[in-house]
Amino acid sequence: MYLAMIILFIVIIVMLILFIWDYWRYDIVALMALFFIAVVGIINYDQVFLGFSHSAIITVVAILVVSSGLNNSGLTDLISKMLSKVSNNTFIQLFVILITVTILSAFINNIGALVLLMPLTTRLAKKNDKHPAIYLLPLAFGSQFGGWITLIATPPNLIISSFRERSGLGPFNMFDFTVVGIGISIVCILFIVTIGWRLIPQREVPNKKSALSQINEYLTEVRVTEESKIRGKRIYDISKSTSAEINIVTLIREGSKILAPSNLKTLREDDILIIKGHPRDIKTLINDTRLQLTEEREFKKEILGSEEVNVMEVVVGPNSILNRETVKSIDLFNTYGLNLLAVSHHEKNLYTRLKNIKLKVGDILMIQGRKDIIDLKISELGCLPLAEREIGFGKTSKLYIALAIFITAVIITALNILPPHIAFSIAALAMILSGVLSLQEAYKSINWPVIILLGALIPFGIALETTGGSEFITSILLESGIIINPIFALIIILLITTLLANIVNNVDVIIMTPIAITIATALQVSIDPFLIAVLIGASSPFFTPIGHHSNILVMGPSGLKFGDYWRLGIFIEIIIIFVGVPLILLFFPF
């Protein structure tokens, strides 16, 4: 058993390293680790796929479908339209946005809540001549506050509840910890709207009236044609032919790359220049020099939009089919009828061809397409528009039906008439049968990589208990003198979970929940305050952009860097400790 425990610890450490390395997607890494511990005998073969039939996983799937039904009914569009009329006062705008996204994320998928309000917040920033980061970072953080409020808000909550049920106390009810979550949320929101937003870095942008599009430099490539005004001239002469401020990253000539080419290089026909610049400057360069965008095909007369052709800035979403794919492998034009004009990538120093760039969640793309199809195609790609589209009430006749289905499921769950996985599965089926959602839309709404990740990780929680791993860690903490009393132990559990959440979100609960239960048992106190501490910590990844997809999605549009998140995040974490711990002890005493 001791050897099995050591092997399990090694596998978990290697798995965490691979998650951070991000070479393979997280669900693939989790499956590899799961199969390994099964083959070496740490878990039985009949436990390998136990997680995929777990009630928590079924509930997550059902809630994703129900959330999609609510969005499809026109509810979220209606909310967005109502919020667009909010006052021009920054304080009031931030307060309303944070309250709205917190409430929404308590009941629907937090990414869905973020996606709903992201275009609105960017429009408000532009309208008020404010930096987008002032609105977008609080929006990202607020979309995670809802995880503290209801049982169905996040997958970790459901997993923690299942551990409680295995301990013989039964699962948490829908609103068991709502008071704690609301208390922390209110203090965090008030802090952000009064002081916190001033801590967010606001980098200089060339043109505040179009701050969103100016914050990120795009990487794109242009070809020297026979008609180009700079053909036969030196790179140095480009500045004499245009007022555009661009950087030439690479010159590609006859298949050979010349990195950071000399200004004395003479440009020839069919040379390809990889350039970096703002959208305005890219357009100016093309108009002034008659260079040709290499990705431009059918729409070459309408380089950056016309009456029939539109150009949109979009963000690669967490469920996008573009994630981890290259531009070449997707073939946007032949498959979707879209042109990719430029990319704003997380990695600033890129010297590869545009078509060879491997796209990631949070990358900003400049997409060109016909106005009658571009919205639909962007949705199919799983990308999120950075500009508000026209409010579409395609199925508004189903709005009240969708609301009735959702509210009924919540009430049935809250009254313990049916468990969440049954109540919301019935609600998901009702969304389909009532026509609110088509079968294809229902399947598309499910975040399969996250489902596979969670299903693959659940057996690790069981393995930590059966191998004695959680008891071993608890004994080390107790014998070291680090844990001097239950309150201090509670704070330690909260802090460790929070730190893990900032690195490997969703994995932290699988590791920390068994340990928290074991520590509470060793201290001979109730496990509930420790479970709530894990629950709060798991929804508190405010130090880094990689802690949650919400953080990544706003990184590009807000112009923030990796090290910017902690400036506001550290104060949110302090509030969580000084407000959260007393509230936990008040409503969940030892």
pLDDT at 209: 41
**Residue 93: is its pLDDT beyond 70?**
yes
Q: Are 345 and 556 in contact (CB under 8 A)?
A: no
* Model pLDDT for residues 138-151, shown as the tens digit of each residue: 999 999 999 999 99
pLDDT band at 353 (very low <50, low <70, confident <90, very high): low
**Residue 213: is its pLDDT beyond 50?**
no
Average pLDDT, the chain: 85
The H or E element that residue 260 is part of is none
How large is the angle between the packed helices 26-39 and 2-21, nearest 10 degrees?
160
What one-character DSSP code corresponds to residue 218? E
Encoding tokens for residue 115? 């996606």
pLDDT at 113: 86
pLDDT at 206: 38
* Helices within 108-203 (DSSP H only): 110-127, 133-145, 155-166, 178-194
Q: Where are the domains of the chain?
A: 2-202+415-587, 208-385
Prediction pTM value: 0.81
pLDDT band at 212 (very low <50, low <70, confident <90, very high): very low
Residue 252 sits at the vertex; the CA angle it makes with 248 and 254, to the nearest 5 degrees, is 160
Q: How far apart are CA 71 and CA 444, in angstroms?
A: 13
What one-character DSSP code corresponds to residue 74? T
pLDDT at 1: 65
Mean per-residue pLDDT, 56-61:
94
Q: How far apart are CA 184 and CA 187, in angstroms?
A: 5
pLDDT at 557: 83
Mean per-residue pLDDT, 526-552:
93
The fold of 208-385 is Alpha-Beta Plaits (3.30.70)
Tallying the residues shown for the chain, one arrives at: 590
pLDDT band at 214 (very low <50, low <70, confident <90, very high): very low
Could you tell me which residues come within 8 angstroms of residue 115 by beta carbon, excluding any fewer than 6 positions away?
317, 384
Q: Are 205 and 559 in contact (CB under 8 A)?
A: yes
The H or E element that residue 577 is part of is none
Encoding tokens for residue 352? 């590869």
> CA dist 344 to 276, 283, 347, 349, Å?
9, 15, 9, 11
Q: How far apart are CA 126 and CA 50, in angstroms?
A: 49
Q: What is the dihedral of CA 474, 480, 485, 491, to 10 degrees?
A: -70
How large is the angle between the packed helices 178-194 and 528-538, nearest 10 degrees?
40
Q: Are 496 and 547 in contact (CB under 8 A)?
A: no
Mean per-residue pLDDT, 288-305:
63
Comparison of pLDDT for 427 and 131, the residue scoring more: 427
Q: How many CB atoms lie within 10 A of CB 377?
A: 17
How large is the angle between the packed helices 155-166 and 448-466, nearest 10 degrees?
30
**Residue 397: is its pLDDT beyond 70?**
no
Of 286-300, 383-397, 410-424, 516-530, which range is least confident? Answer: 383-397
Of 156-165, 275-284, 511-520, which range is least confident? Answer: 275-284
Q: How far apart are CA 330 and CA 246, in angstroms?
A: 27
Could you tell me which residues come within 8 angstroms of residue 300 by beta carbon, excluding any fewer than 6 positions away?
292, 293
Q: Are 507 and 457 in contact (CB under 8 A)?
A: yes
**Residue 10: is its pLDDT beyond 50?**
yes
The per-residue DSSP string of 353-394 comes to -GGG-B--TT-EEEEEEETTTHHHHHHHHTEEESSPPPP--T
pLDDT at 373: 83
CA Rg value for the chain: 26
Mean per-residue pLDDT, 421-435:
95
Q: Are 289 and 241 in contact (CB under 8 A)?
A: yes
Encoding tokens for residue 78? 């209606």
Q: How far apart are CA 139 and CA 559, in angstroms?
A: 15
SS3 state at 257: strand
Q: How many CB atoms lie within 10 A of CB 264?
A: 8
Q: Which amino acid is at 177?
A: F
Comparison of pLDDT for 248 and 541, the residue scoring more: 541
In the numeric block, the tokens 């002890």 are attached to 585
pLDDT at 587: 96
**Residue 347: is its pLDDT beyond 70?**
no
* Model pLDDT for residues 565-577, shown as the tens digit of each residue: 999 999 999 999 9
* Model pLDDT for residues 359-390, shown as the tens digit of each residue: 888 888 888 888 878 888 888 888 888 765 44
**Residue 555: is its pLDDT beyond 80?**
yes
**Residue 189: is its pLDDT beyond 90?**
yes
How large is the angle between the packed helices 2-21 and 469-480, nearest 10 degrees?
90
pLDDT at 120: 81
Please state, for a pLDDT cut of 70, what percent of the chain lies above it: 91
pLDDT band at 215 (very low <50, low <70, confident <90, very high): very low
What one-character DSSP code corresponds to residue 307? S
Termini Cα distance of the chain: 32
What are the CB-based long-range contacts (under 8 Å, 24+) for 330-333? 332/367, 333/295, 333/297, 333/298
Mean per-residue pLDDT, 70-90:
77
